[in-house]
Homo-oligomer: A and B are copies of this chain.
């Protein structure tokens, strides 16, 4: 990528990594201070606004619940040694555990302890949002090491009226038409799911800000489901302006890029993202009503053109929702490739257009207009072919990304060809 020299990439990798390292230890959940702290970290890189909505607020079919915070949570043996401690890993406490302070035999404690027998060194991730309960998650190896006897259990949490908090960042463009990009912010110490989405989204916002762009880009960092529904509920004026949308999550962790289509399946964002993802060796999948927040945007009442970009999707890798989804599970190369894919998708959304050929009676003389490359080789051949394809389909109905797919050439080659042809007076925008 000519506009992304090596030094810039190196700096971006460092920023993405550093941001993930700072976010990783924070205890996030649907509500609570962890989300506020996370948004503050993001706000150091970009003007992310924090929005709080009070508990009890009705949000379509839902109501915002009480806010959950954790002061401390541990299990200690008779000697006082803390054998499981939330202070050591945020996954140790089942999300939304209610307060408890008691002493139990190991036998009575066991039903509250969750492990992964098949992965004895991994801590599972569990929540109990809708059923009032408490519990601890630990490694099987730790559980096996516990002696019989009495254990002190302390869950010092609060579940009280407060707020649901989300972050919002608007990068204004020439037009009031918007592209929405969302990333969920409600998972505790899980790197791929979804610190990758957050850190790449911040870089994408910076990249877009630094160059002219047509659309306004709105980044929403919200807790899953209820958080995004809250945003949807509070922004009825924005919804009609949304032209394209992307949910970002799991952008590291191995595997090729995967675009999950919108419910309609052939929205412009699907064409753009499919073009880019396929050319990068990735995969395009049909819509399904499970997954991340694309479910809410695509609900029949909103019907917004929002797809999802991931690498290997949730549930298809063993580290998913365990402590093995840690900072080591995500590589800088993966993040950088995911970032690059997103910039290419944005390039298509920004640059796609439809033209009419102003010299439509046979092929025009390209050489006479200085459009023939002076050097040979594959790049020159591609450049000439890109011009021929663009002229051949400048019929007022076929857009450039469709031409790129027909030609089996990267969009940026077709876009550059169209620019050269526009410069030579051989093309005009279709709607003029």
Contacts and interface: CB of A to CB of B under 8 A. Distances in A.
A218 B388 CA distance: 28
Given A290-B385, A301-B357, A391-B289, A296 B363 contact: yes
Given A289-B389, A391-B289, A392-B263, A301 B232 contact: no
Contacts of A302: 360-362
Nearest to A365: B61
A299 interface: yes
B232 A367 contact: no
Residue among A300, A391, A392 with max Cβ neighbours from chain B (10 Å): A300
B62 A357 contact: no
A84 interface: no
A361 B59 CA distance: 9
A232 B362 contact: yes
Interface string A368-394: 000000000000000001001101111
Interface residues of A, number: 42
Given A130-B367, A298-B392, A232 B361 contact: yes
A400 to B, nearest CB: 15
A229 interface: yes
A302 B385 CA distance: 20
A319 interface: no
A62 B407 CA distance: 26
Contacts of A228: 362
A61 B361 contact: yes
A155 to B, nearest CB: 23
A9 interface: no
Contact of A361 (B301, B364, B389): B301
Residue among A60, A288, A362 with max Cβ neighbours from chain B (10 Å): A362
B388 A290 contact: yes
Interface string A196-230: 00000000000000000000000000000100110
A362 B391 CA distance: 44
A410 interface: no
A67 B229 CA distance: 74
B60 A362 contact: yes
Contacts of A406: 286
Interface string A284-310: 001111100001101111100000000
A45 interface: no
Contact of A363 (B233, B299, B393): B299
| Nearest 6 CB-CB pairings of A with B | A301-B360, A289-B392, A301-B361, A289-B388, A60-B361, A61-B364
Given A229-B362, A295-B388, A300-B394, 10 more contacts: A61-B361, A61-B362, A61-B363, A263-B392, A263-B393, A287-B392, A290-B388, A299-B362, A300-B393, A302-B362
